[in-house]
Chain A
Amino acid sequence: MTSITGLRDLRRRTVPPKYIPVLVTAGLFVAMFVAGGIRYDNFATGQIILNVFIDNAFLLVVAVGMTFVILTGGIDLSVGSVVALATMLSASLLKDGWPAYAVMALVLVIGAVLGLAMGAIIHYFEIQPFIVTLAGMFLARGLCYTISTESIPIENQTFTDIAQTRINLGGDLSVSPSAVIAVVVVLIAAYVLHYTRLGRNVYATGGSEQSALLMGLPVARTKIAVYTISGFCSALGGLLFAFYSLSGYGLSAVGMELDAIAAVVIGGTLLTGGSGFLLGTVLGVLVLGLIQTIISFEGTLSSWWTRIFIGLLLFVFILLQRVFSGGSRRRTP
């Protein structure tokens, strides 16, 4: 990797600094892929990357919602619990004989309403998002156990069909419907962030909430909207997780909020808000997924090494952000 001073030079010369974290993540992803290809047989294939998408579709969707929240300078700790709640709700309602599509619709609505409620509390009572979403996290996790403390298998035909379908992309490549859904979500979200007023308001609110207020931007609506989006994405992520695991379990997705935050930060989004790209989040999820893949290829390493690498990567990226954003912020005339 380039040294810090090298990156500083790079910033001065060519690329606008806001793209650099994304480019670094992209470079890291490519480097990992190439290294894996050299070290292991059968690694450097398209299917490896598609598998990363398939195995992490739910995380990707959750991280998209998280990106919106973090771009406004907030945080949403409830996402993992909402994922678990979505799987539990789906499994138990399907067991009671509800039609699959009604279950999906209901789960999505519940996720969005939970997010909406948290956003409203955060904005109107001026409480830190950390605390409000922490409460939401306990609430959603607790609700899972009121449904059942055991794992509930899903035997519904529609769900198992979706779980087993593979869409052939030609050659030997194929993806799951969940991966396709995740990619569609990413594309819509990227479009919203970059081409709509809502997207602009998200960046403006995160960049400087005070300024946004004095520019007449609807800060309240924006903040509530991002938590609603995050709640919706968590519920959708939960459905994808249900397709993936074909069960509902109150202990699933424990700590996923932290994976999502890690993916967003590794993707180059500033935790203080206002700067970052969805493409970065996608790359962040891919990097996390690829680390897991490499460790499983290695075979001898315990899966906890994934965490160690994620931890190290986070350190590196937070330092990078300091280098790029800190310099200009600290300076006063």
Chain B
Amino acid sequence: MTEHILRMSGITKTFPGVKALQDVNLAVRRGEIHAICGENGAGKSTLMKVLSGVYPHGQYEGEITFEGRRCEFGGIRDSERAGIVIIHQELALCPQLSIAENIYLGNERATRGVIDWNRTNYEAGELLKRVGLRENPTTTVADIGVGKQQLVEIAKALSKEVRLLILDEPTAALNDEDSAHLLDLLRGLRDEGITCVIISHKLNEVTAIADSVTILRDGRTIETLDMAADSVTEDRIISGMVGRALDNRFPPRTPAIGEEAFRIEDWTVYSPSQPGRKVVDGASLTLRRGEIVGLAGLMGAGRTELAMSVFGRTYGVHISGRIFKNGEPIEIRTVQDAIRHGVAYATEDRKRYGLNLIDDIKRNISAAWLKGLSRRGWVNEYEEYRVAQQFRASMNIKAPGVDSVVGKLSGGNQQKVVLSKWILTEPDVLILDEPTRGIDVGAKYEIYMIINRLAEQGKAVLVISSELPELLGLCDRIYTLSEGRVTGEVPREEATQERLMYLMTKGQE
């Protein structure tokens, strides 16, 4: 048996109310590329945060052995000193500083406290050669693309004498060429003896590069496979990722589907931060009255970006495409336009984008529909109170009163406030982005009931979710999105977790 450089055993990490990791085991052999796969929320990033000391020793249970020694990291500095470097999906570079400055940030080449710039730039240049980046070390990081920034991160890791390099979704934001280059580089590093752990949603990359793969699901280790010995295929990984049981956590419903209510055609959105990168690429969707349609996609597939760009262009640049409501073309240039056309969007991040947390329930419910509750600019507070009371009863919002501050409610009740707010605008089309994220099981059931009720009233509902069982239990039809493209449309009868996961991880041909 080959020697293990890293062993994590029995790792359990709890957040208030949620068990993010439960008795997870991970063993990485020296000099291999080890992939970690799992759905969104399976616990991959949490596991890596435990390993790198972001969650310090004492905040989790279990044991970490690195290079044969038990480790109790108190922070990132400790783990880096031991030779473990993590590169997060959101790169941690200072855009205004030069490449060399970034590489040696916190680790400056100095003699008696004075930085030796010649040595800094020379050594940075050597590192850049190792990672195959042809840029001057004095170039400002903001002036190079994301792909190159990723390489700078790796150069930075190399400068710290890294022995175990962890990459979280390294190719998520890269184009094909940069991705291929990065994967080549990782192979090269492996040959130099640097062990890599890579978290990736792109299964074709995993099968191409990894020597072994560990699959997580719902915060537990499912299995660790040796790619060569077990001759692992993408399908094999998918079946490990999705084996979650379907139980009857979903209220029954007989769909009564009418005519087309909403259609998006050839919708393309470019990233506002990375010029030239398409986040949504020629997507087309159709929603019918009384229908619940799912939109499945992994992190970074462009689900939220699609929804927000449709909803009054609140995301993205150079948006192109056509929107039809009841067959008629419509223009939605602002959120007000969207509301006027009967489109509502409940965000995935309700704390940041969906609610005014320091205000009370009634004002949050009325906020998007003050127009209907006021005359000539004066708000009818009596009516507002009455409406809020009505929603508190019909949506079963558990709070002492409609004067309660929203920030103090539980996630489920906050979500009910968000839904109330949009239902008040009397929409025909509702886009619900991760409607049950961060909500306990009981409240989830209630949210499902509300969604069913909306469909029964003849509204078209688009549910965006990363939980496949949820989509399978709730939706009449499911679209899959991968790298900004619609890769499939599966009716309820034909939908299985495996089929969807296959479509969701399908790369560009």
Q: Which of A50-58, A84-92, A289-297, A325-333 contacts B (4 or more CB under 8 A)?
A: A325-333
B407:A211 contact, CB within 8 angstroms: no
Q: Which of A158-215 contact B (CB under 8 A)?
A: 195-201, 203-204, 207-208, 210-215
- Give complex CA distance A32, B356 in Å: 36
CB neighbours of A204 from chain B (8 A): 356, 359, 363, 367
Taking each of B371, B407, B421, which has the highest tally of chain A beta carbons within 10 Å of its own beta carbon?
Answer: B407
A67 CB, nearest partner CB in chain B, Å: 16
Q: Which of A1-57 contact B (CB under 8 A)?
A: 16-18
Is B331 an interface position by the 8 A CB rule? Answer: no
A211:B356 contact, CB within 8 angstroms: yes
- Give complex CA distance A204, B352 in Å: 13
- Give complex CA distance A200, B339 in Å: 18
CB neighbours of A213 from chain B (8 A): 314, 335
Of the candidates B353, B366, B405, the one whose C-beta lies within 8 Å of that of A17 is B405
Q: Which of B82-90, B146-154, B165-173, B375-383 contacts A (4 or more CB under 8 A)?
A: B375-383
CB neighbours of B408 from chain A (8 A): 328
Majority SS of interface residues in chain B?
Answer: mixed
The bracket for how many chain A residues form the interface is 20 to 34
**Interface size (B, Cβ < 8 Å)?**
40
B354:A214 contact, CB within 8 angstroms: yes
Known: A197-B377, A204-B367, A208-B355. Is A215-B421 also a contact (CB below 8 A)?
yes
B312:A216 contact, CB within 8 angstroms: yes
CB neighbours of B379 from chain A (8 A): 195-197, 199-200
CB neighbours of B314 from chain A (8 A): 213-214
CB neighbours of B403 from chain A (8 A): 16
B306 CB, nearest partner CB in chain A, Å: 15
Known: A16-B405, A328-B407. Is A203-B338 also a contact (CB below 8 A)?
no
Of the candidates A211, A217, A275, A333, the one whose C-beta lies within 8 Å of that of B352 is A211
Known: A203-B363, A208-B357. Is A329-B335 also a contact (CB below 8 A)?
no
Is A111 an interface position by the 8 A CB rule? Answer: no
A216:B355 contact, CB within 8 angstroms: no
Is A274 an interface position by the 8 A CB rule? Answer: yes
- Give complex CA distance A17, B368 in Å: 25
Is B442 an interface position by the 8 A CB rule? Answer: no
Known: A197-B379, A203-B356. Is A216-B405 also a contact (CB below 8 A)?
no
Mask: chain A, 206-243; 1 = CB below 8 Å from B; 0 = not? 01101111111110000000000000000000000000
Of the candidates B17, B359, B367, B368, the one whose C-beta lies within 8 Å of that of A274 is B359
CB neighbours of B381 from chain A (8 A): 195
Is B399 an interface position by the 8 A CB rule? Answer: no
CB neighbours of B507 from chain A (8 A): none
CB neighbours of B368 from chain A (8 A): 215-217
- Give complex CA distance A270, B358 in Å: 11
- Give complex CA distance A195, B371 in Å: 13
- Give complex CA distance A201, B374 in Å: 13
B407 CB, nearest partner CB in chain A, Å: 5
- Give complex CA distance A329, B351 in Å: 10
A195:B378 contact, CB within 8 angstroms: yes
B336:A216 contact, CB within 8 angstroms: yes
Is B449 an interface position by the 8 A CB rule? Answer: no
CB neighbours of A199 from chain B (8 A): 379
A229 CB, nearest partner CB in chain B, Å: 14
Measured CB to CB, the nearest residue on chain B to A210 is B353
Known: A216-B335, A216-B338, A333-B15. Is A207-B357 also a contact (CB below 8 A)?
yes
CB neighbours of A329 from chain B (8 A): 357-358, 407
Measured CB to CB, the nearest residue on chain B to A207 is B356
Is B275 an interface position by the 8 A CB rule? Answer: no
A308 CB, nearest partner CB in chain B, Å: 32
Q: Can you identify 10 A-B contacts, CB atoms within 8 angstroms?
A: A195-B379, A203-B359, A204-B367, A208-B357, A211-B355, A213-B314, A216-B336, A270-B358, A328-B357, A333-B438
Residues of B within 8 A of A (CB): 15-18, 311-312, 314, 334-336, 338-339, 345, 347, 352-359, 363, 366-368, 370-371, 374, 377-379, 381, 403, 405, 407-408, 411, 421, 438
Residues of A within 8 A of B (CB): 16-18, 195-201, 203-204, 207-208, 210-218, 270, 274-275, 325, 328-329, 333
